[in-house]
Amino acid sequence: MEIPEADFPNTRGVQSLVKDAVKAAIAKINQSEFEWPFNAAEFTQTLAAGQTEYAWPNAFKVVDWNSFQLQKNDSLGAAYKSLGYMERDEWYASHRDADYTAGSSGRDIPAKVFPSHGNGFGVTPSPNKAYSVKFRYYLNYTDLTLFSDVTRIPQSFDTVIIDGALYHMYMFKDNMEAAATALGTFQSGLKDLQTLFINNFESIRDTRVAF
């Protein structure tokens, strides 16, 4: 039975269970891999003079450290430049004191990026102007709450979501046999997703040893 849009936020009983089962299936798919292509995203961070560390954007999951790029801005004298990766301990040992000493004025155009202490990243030298840095990352799962919310999982794999939801519904009904069947079908569909989007190789290397 279809839930009318007006009633969607206030469902009860079986309808609420179905909503929770669907959300659980979507969450399981998203949590099974760090880098699903359909969760790929890009973000541009405007830097502040003298500020070294920045928080990740909302729904952040994992970043591609090789993707950080200073954006071209003629008025700031900035050209496109990839930022090299640096370990946080190296920043502590060799750059933090100079960045902090420069204060709100900043030091120069950033050349390196490093993992921040906590939820974010840092750049060094500390920026002396409001440069922009663009990077690529992967989104985390976000709960579906509104009638109009759409999952990022491709529509062609809706059946996988349905199988996962059926597993949770059968478990609620204590129908273990049907739950086991639904779980097996769901896991098979999840493997198909991984084969299509994750397990692909551009080249194959022969590791056999010649005698």
Q: How sure is the predictor about 88, in pLDDT bands with cuts at 50, 70 and 90?
A: very high
Dist. CA 15–CA 20, nearest whole Å: 9
Q: Is 42 helix (H, G, I), strand (E, B) or coil?
A: strand
Q: From CA 177, how far away is CA 70, in angstroms rounded?
A: 56
What letter would DSSP give residue 127? Answer: B
Model confidence over 59-86: pLDDT tens digits? 999 999 999 999 999 999 999 999 999 9
- DSSP letters for 57-125: PTTEEEE-GGG-EEPPBGGGTB--EEPEE--HHHHHHHTHHHHHHHGGG--BS--EEEE-SSSEEEEES
**CA-to-CA distance for 211 and 128, rounded, in angstroms?**
59
Instruction: Dig out the tokens for 84 from the structure.
Output: 């090299």
Q: What is the pTM of this model?
A: 0.80
